[in-house]
A and B are shown apart, each in its own frame.
Chain A
Amino acid sequence: MGEKIVLRYTDDPEQSDIATYIRKGGYQALARALKELSPEAVVDLVKRSGLRGRGGAGFPTGLKWSFIPKDPALPRYLCCNADEGEPGTFKDREIMEKDPHELIEGIILSSYAIGAHLAVIYIRGEFAYAARQLEKAIRQATAKGYLGRNILGSGYDLDVAVYRGAGAYICGEETALLESLEGYRGQPRLKPPFPATAGLYRKPTVINNVETLANVPYIVLNGPEAFAAIGTSRSPGTKVFCLSGHVKRPGNYELPMGTPLREIIFEHGGGVRDGKQLKAIIPGGPSTPTFTAAHLDVNMDFESVAAAGSMLGSGAVMVMDETACMVWAALRLTEFFRHESCGKCTPCREGTYWMVRLLGRIEAGQGQDGDIELLLDICDNMAGKCFCPFGDAAIAPVQGTVKHFREEYQGHIRRGGCWRHETTGGRLPTTDQGPRVTPGA
């Protein structure tokens, strides 16, 4: 296997302890930066490395940092997005639980680069153990003088806070995250103004994903060329692919950007479970359109996945074998989006509701002629018309599965139900979720 960066040492059970982290070269990047590099020089290194955001959109990290106004009198903040809610994604949790210092060092370096004296890690509410690991790492780093006042005698001060969410997928969207951090309902804000000019407390703010920030110590220590030598020219570095579903060996695999899907699923994941045939792949989480076995030779980097009609997204590769019903899968994912829609804008709130109704009746054998067209019509009425990118994401399961598996939808409507559930013997999980618990209801 090639070079690993963020998960390089996660097999070592002692890695989360600061002594082990330091023994393996940890906090050297920080010592070097504080001694030899100006904040601008750190921004420049990250720019030259070509690092792009790992939270889904792939925005160039150094460029994002350079939007922060130079005026040092103006407070500015760093927010680490550890909300990790995209279904199928479990990479940030592994980094935080097993190598928390790598993230903390990345946060200190990044805060220094943009001149922030307060950094907040917004971690999803369910991640209790990861939050404890981070708190412990912060205590250890503070005791060693890597955090707090006058870090390593440099005159630079930084406070890092762990802030626990409380169960809302939309809070992973950066402006909703800021609303939540300010003590409000986590609903997205209108952009512009962008967070770089008016973010947390209306002050300049950088928001970066956990995996993005965890790459920074490597770049500062080994140089941007070493980083850019991994992966592809436009998508440099590694990516953690979260492999789940019908594969023999699900799990996190850190591989060079541009690794073919086939290699990820068959070499690393051991192929499809129980000798079954591959049917569908969701390449980057439910917000990304579905692939089929015909897409196995797509290289997993930002450009190649986009050229093939989907998105790299968060790197959540979900695999489904021949027994999986596509209407059922689309229903399950659309139910997720309906549940998580924040309700602020009508196309998303109503659209997700009606898509679930239609998918539910097709799956239950009560589909009617014209239902497929109606589903696609709802997608059209949401695409580009919602307040935030959640709306575009929410139509991906329906659009992707109808595009590649339309005959399966037609079959459901013609036969009055799902034949797959009967022919496969093993029953597929029901979609009967019972009433969802709505707080305050």
Chain B
Amino acid sequence: MMLSERAREEIIKTAERFPERRTALLPALRLAQDEQGYLSSQVLVEVAAIFELTPAEVEAVASFYTMLKRRPTGKHLIQVCTNLPCALSGAGELLDHLKARLGIGVGETTPDGLFTLETVECLGSCGTAPVVQIDEDYHENLSAEAIEAVLARLAGG
């Protein structure tokens, strides 16, 4: 899949805003991922061309950041925070519940391609622990019952 014309324009606009164009590389990778779900080798080559870099240089940057995915994930990405404050507030139980409910382990995707389960370090929301991020949204003070309702909504929609 090629990068859309709109994405290219936005990347070039961002590059022109900063004194050095390469500042727009990370935003470009984020944008490419938003559009395609993950960063394929082909899209890295395209991005590299925009910045006049080698694909290896772009790959080196992409592999550094945990939010940049080099493989497709499920339709919804479920990220359970397991850092200490969340772990003290039931994140372990929540993770076990999700594993059993979805029938997958951490780092895996359900066979229907709907959900990918990951653990993450502190999401910066420890006052409302435990916290799970699903796609862009935070779900706070989560119980097993509450996450059931969220999953049902996502599976339906």
**Which A residues are closer than 8 A to B by beta carbons?**
75, 84-90, 92-93, 118, 124-129, 159, 161, 163-169, 180-186, 201, 242-246, 250-252, 282, 286, 316, 318, 320, 324, 329, 332-333, 336, 339-340, 342, 427-430, 433-437, 439-441
Contact = CB atoms under 8 A, between A and B. Distances in A.
Given A87-B85, A332-B83, A429-B87, A436 B67 contact: no
A154 B102 CA distance: 60
B136 A320 contact: no
A84 B124 CA distance: 7
A94 to B, nearest CB: 8
28 contacts: A118-B18, A126-B123, A126-B133, A159-B17, A163-B26, A165-B67, A167-B65, A168-B66, A183-B23, A183-B24, A183-B51, A184-B61, A186-B65, A244-B127, A244-B129, A245-B89, A246-B88, A250-B85, A286-B84, A336-B83, A429-B87, A429-B92, A434-B107, A436-B106, A437-B66, A439-B65, A439-B69, A441-B70
Contact of A185 (B19, B60, B136): B60
A167 B88 contact: no
Interface stretch (B1-9, B114-122, B142-150): B114-122
B93 A427 contact: yes
Contacts of A245: 84-85, 88-89, 126
Contacts of B82: 332, 429, 433
B70 to A, nearest CB: 4
B62 to A, nearest CB: 7
A404 B65 CA distance: 36
Contacts of A201: 19-20
Contacts of B136: 128-129
B30 A166 contact: yes
B97 to A, nearest CB: 12
Contact of A436 (B26, B60, B92, B119): B119
Given A166-B26, A166-B30, A427 B92 contact: yes
Given A93-B124, A183-B22, A439-B66, 20 more contacts: A88-B84, A90-B124, A127-B124, A166-B26, A166-B68, A167-B66, A168-B65, A180-B26, A244-B127, A245-B89, A250-B85, A250-B126, A250-B129, A320-B88, A336-B122, A430-B92, A436-B106, A437-B107, A439-B70, A440-B63
B127 A161 contact: no
A126 B139 CA distance: 13
A124 B127 contact: no
A320 B64 CA distance: 33
B119 A324 contact: no
A163 B27 CA distance: 8
A184 B63 CA distance: 11
Interface residues of B, number: 56
Contacts of A427: 92-93
A152 B31 CA distance: 34
Interface of B: 17-20, 22-27, 29-30, 51, 59-70, 82-85, 87-93, 95-96, 105-107, 118-119, 121-129, 133, 136-138
Contacts of A251: 127
Contacts of B24: 183
Contact of B67 (A125, A243, A336): A125
Contacts, number: 176
B49 to A, nearest CB: 15
Contacts of B60: 185
Nearest to A252: B127
8 A-B pairs closest in CB distance: A429-B92, A434-B106, A183-B22, A166-B65, A167-B67, A167-B66, A87-B122, A183-B25
Contacts of A332: 82-84, 87
Nearest to B128: A250
Contact of A433 (B22, B65, B70, B106): B106
Given A84-B124, A168-B65, A320-B88, A429 B93 contact: yes
Contacts of A252: 127
Contacts of A250: 85, 126-129
Given A183-B24, A250-B127, A87 B121 contact: yes
A427 B67 CA distance: 31
B93 to A, nearest CB: 7
A124 B138 CA distance: 14
B25 to A, nearest CB: 4
B57 to A, nearest CB: 9
B126 A87 contact: yes
Contact of A439 (B68, B92, B123): B68
A87 B88 CA distance: 13
Contacts of A440: 59, 62-63, 70
